[in-house]
């Protein structure tokens, strides 16, 4: 299968935050209605968060910029240019002059304040207003150490997103990906990098001494699995982001993969205690469950074909996977114990890289027809029509945002020096296509759950 051919070819935990809510008036009709098609972004005015001194005022302006970028990049909000602002907000506890904000077409207004308490903690307070109804929609305060100011900005962004859309946000998250480079002797390198979802705070997790591919987050975002070639074969590893400890899940003493076998595409069960992965031996790949506590393997599929790239449903009761048992690879779903295996894709071409949406209703996939690759989604039960979100020269490794609204994917573009890989996002309507800032060429991205 394509992913196998590609394989052959080749942070510390955050400090806790506290939050409090202010009393607020009744509800307001201001909401962002989300459909599968394109939407008109909601105009929102975001003022610089005021500070008690020059240092906190500067930090407040930085926080406002992060919030502005987050909301704009979601595709659902259109921040109003600050040059158009009429009222100068100097006290967020006073009601704004709503007419001044309506005249510049701001449907919503965000104002905030930054201060430092007696213990040296950073306090970020904000109010969100509906300018037409002249009502407060949300008032909250987040607290953390000063170094966590970007996380506070992401927390504010998530709170605003959820209040106005009715969905949970995805800004206080991290992304891990493979940085593709070249070593000192011209050899290809593949290193894991972790960063905030907006590209800030990148950090290498692995070095150039071995290749690392196909990372996936645990449900707690404190561990990742990945595939390494340190032992000259593909082996699944577990990386603890709190301690930096790495361990191979298997070795040649494990009877399930003796004889030069390889383990691929390990993904966590929603309970965080189990994995599902593909193990190759004797010329084929089957799916196995793996208990992280007992280290026990159990075989889930037993077919002469290749069964690969498994992904759990959000409730852990089912698994989607790719298999060539009926010819070119197609998508199949089975119960988590391996029973009731059934095909759900029937279109022409090769279907690979299935990934179950956190909402449970959709499965993302990659389809190849001839020289064209497509990123698409279809219903988890296989009914209805599939929806293509992006077509391109090369597409691979889709990964969902934790709210199921966006997809990360690897995009390859032709260049005279070979395919150039990068990581992009697109929404469920096929709109808001955006390249992520990464450390050079990048692939195989995974999106963490919301951080605690």
178, 260: one domain: yes
Which pLDDT score is estimated for 16?
43
User: Which stretches of 344-403 are assigned E, i.e. beta strand?
Assistant: 350-356, 362-369, 372-379, 387-392, 394-400
Q: What is the CATH number of the domain that holds 52?
A: 3.40.50.10070
134 and 55 housed in the same domain:
yes
Q: Is the pLDDT of residue 25 over 60?
A: no
Predicted pLDDT of residue 262? 80
d(CA 44, CA 439): 31
Residue among 286, 206, 263 nearest 239 (CA): 206
Indicate if 195 and 154 belong to the same structural domain.
Answer: no
Sheet with 318-323, edge to edge strand ranges: 307-312, 318-323, 330-335, 342-343
> Of the ranges 46-55, 79-88, 102-111, 183-192, which one carries the lowest mean pLDDT score?
183-192
Q: Give 135's pLDDT tier (boundaries 50, 70, 90).
A: very high
Is 8 a domain residue? no
Phi, psi of 196 (to 5 degrees): -65, 160
| CATH number of the domain to which 178 belongs | 2.120.10.30
The domain boundary, picked from 149, 165, 181, lies at 165
Give mean pLDDT, residues 10-34.
Answer: 52
13 in any annotated domain: no
Mark whether 206 and 347 lie in a shared domain: yes
Same domain, residue pair 423 and 314: yes
State the average pLDDT for the chain: 90
Q: What percent of the chain is predicted at pLDDT more than 90?
A: 80
| pLDDT band at residue 5 under the 50/70/90 scheme | very low
First to last CA, the chain: 37
d(CA 426, CA 374) in angstroms, rounded, equals 12
pLDDT band (50, 70, 90) for residue 17 = low
Question: Over the stretch 337-347, which tens digit does the pLDDT of each residue have?
Answer: 999 999 999 99
58: nearest Cα among 138, 116, 119? 116
- With cut-offs at 50, 70 and 90, classify the pLDDT of residue 306: very high
d(CA 195, CA 374): 26
Residue 4, pLDDT > 60, answer: no
Judge if 206 and 288 occupy the same domain: yes
Indicate the pLDDT class of residue 282, thresholds 50, 70 and 90.
confident
Query: Does residue 177 sit in the same domain as residue 160?
Result: no
Tokens of 219: 């449900």
According to the model, what pLDDT value does residue 418 have? 87
pLDDT at 252: 47
Do 50 and 68 lie in a common domain? yes
Mean pLDDT of the region 271-299: 92
Q: How far apart are CA 297 and CA 157, in angstroms?
A: 42
Task: State how far the Cα of 278 lies from the Cα of 122, in Å rounded to an integer.
Answer: 46
Of 448, 427, 402, the C-alpha closest to 168 is 402
Please tell me the predicted confidence (pLDDT) of residue 165.
96
Which residues form the domain of 291? 173-447
Number of H helices and E strands in the chain, helices first, is: 4, 31
Q: Where is the domain boundary, 165, 196, 227? A: 165
Measure CA 393 to chain center.
23
pLDDT of residue 251: 61
Residue 131 has pLDDT above 90, yes or no: yes
Strand ranges, E, within 18-165? 18-21, 42-46, 50-51, 77-79, 108-116, 122-130, 135-144
Say if 217 falls within a structural domain.
yes
Q: For the chain, what is the domain count?
A: 2
Give the pLDDT of residue 39. Answer: 72
Q: pLDDT (tens digit, 9 = 90+) per residue, 184-239?
A: 888 899 999 999 999 999 999 999 989 999 999 999 999 999 999 876 678 899 99
CA-CA distance, 203 to 240, in Å (whole number)?
Answer: 15
Local structure of residue 231 (DSSP, 8 states): T
pLDDT at res. 258:
42
Q: How far is CA 281 from the centre of its chain?
A: 31
Residue 204 · residue 244 · CB < 8 Å = no
Query: Is 106 found in the same domain as 46?
Result: yes
Handedness of CA 192, 411, 323, 358 (dihedral sign): positive
Whether 83 is in a domain gets the answer yes
Asked if residues 443 and 408 have their Cβ atoms less than 8 Å apart, the reply is no
Q: Is the pLDDT of residue 177 over 60?
A: yes
3-class secondary-structure state, position 162? helix
Per-residue pLDDT, 29: 62
Q: Both 248 and 133 in a single domain?
A: no
Q: What is the largest CA-CA distance in the chain?
A: 75
Residue 80 backbone dihedrals phi, psi, to 5 degrees: -75, 140
Q: Is residue 267 part of a domain?
A: yes
β-pair type (77-79, 420-427): unpaired
Q: 15 falls in which pLDDT band (50, 70, 90)?
A: very low
Query: What pLDDT, on a 0 to 100 scale, did the predictor assign at position 32?
Result: 73
Q: What is the pLDDT of residue 113?
A: 98
Does residue 38 register a pLDDT over 90?
Answer: no
pLDDT on residue 360: 97
Say if residues 403 and 168 touch (Cβ distance below 8 Å): yes
pLDDT band at 35 (very low <50, low <70, confident <90, very high): low
**Rounded CA gap, 116 and 114, in Å?**
7
Same domain, 148 and 200: no
Pairing of strands 342-343, 174-182: unpaired
In a shared domain, residues 297 and 334: yes
Confidence category of residue 392, pLDDT binned at 50, 70, 90: very high
pLDDT at residue 28 is higher than 70: no
Residue 2 reports pLDDT greater than 70: no
Check residue 10 and give its pLDDT.
37
């Amino acid at each position: 299968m394509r992913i196998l051919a590609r394989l052959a070819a080749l942070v510390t935990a955050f400090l806790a935050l506290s939050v409090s809510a202010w009393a607020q008036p009744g509800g307001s009709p201001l909401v962002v209605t989300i459909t599968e098609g394109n939407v008109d972004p909601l105009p929102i005015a975001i003022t610089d968060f005021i500070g008690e001194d020059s240092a906190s005022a500067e930090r407040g302006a930085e926080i406002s910029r992060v919030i502005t970028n987050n909301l704009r990049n979601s595709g659902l909000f259109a921040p109003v240019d600050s040059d158009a602002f009429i009222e100068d907000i100097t006290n967020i506890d006073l009601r704004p002059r709503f007419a001044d904000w309506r005249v510049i077409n701001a449907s919503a207004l965000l104002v905030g304040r930054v201060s430092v308490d007696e213990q040296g903690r950073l306090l970020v307070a904000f109010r969100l207003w509906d300018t037409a109804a002249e009502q407060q929609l949300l008032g909250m305060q987040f607290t953390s150490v000063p170094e966590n100011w970007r996380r506070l900005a992401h927390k504010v962004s998530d709170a605003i997103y959820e209040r106005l859309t009715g969905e949970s946000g995805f800004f206080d998250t991290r992304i891990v990906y493979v940085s593709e480079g070249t070593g000192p002797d011209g050899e290809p390198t593949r290193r894991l990098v972790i960063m905030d979802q907006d590209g800030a705070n990148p950090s290498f997790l692995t070095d150039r001494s071995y290749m690392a591919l196909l990372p996936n987050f645990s449900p707690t975002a404190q561990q990742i699995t990945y595939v390494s070639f340190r032992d000259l074969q593909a082996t699944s590893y577990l990386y603890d982001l709190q301690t930096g400890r790495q361990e191979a899940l298997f070795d040649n003493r494990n009877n399930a993969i003796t004889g030069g076998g390889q383990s691929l595409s390990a993904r966590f069960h929603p309970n965080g205690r189990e994995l599902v992965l593909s193990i190759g031996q004797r010329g084929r790949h089957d799916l196995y469950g793996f208990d992280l506590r007992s280290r026990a393997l159990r075989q889930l599929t037993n077919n002469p074909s290749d069964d690969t790239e498994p992904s759990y449903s959000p409730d852990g009761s089912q698994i989607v996977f790719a298999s060539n048992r009926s010819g070119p690879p197609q998508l199949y779903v089975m119960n988590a114990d391996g029973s009731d295996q059934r095909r759900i894709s029937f279109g022409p071409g090769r279907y690979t890289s299935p990934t179950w949406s956190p909402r449970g209703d959709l499965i993302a996939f990659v389809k190849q027809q001839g020289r064209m690759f497509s990123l698409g989604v279809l219903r988890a039960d296989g009914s209805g029509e599939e929806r293509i979100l992006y077509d391109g020269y090369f597409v691979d490794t889709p990964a969902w945002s934790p709210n199921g609204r966006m997809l990360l994917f690897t995009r390859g573009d032709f260049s005279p020096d070979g395919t150039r890989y990068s990581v992009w996002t697109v929404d469920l309507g096929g709109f808001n296509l955006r390249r992520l800032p990464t450390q050079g060429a990048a692939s195989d991205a995974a999106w963490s759950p919301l951080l605690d």
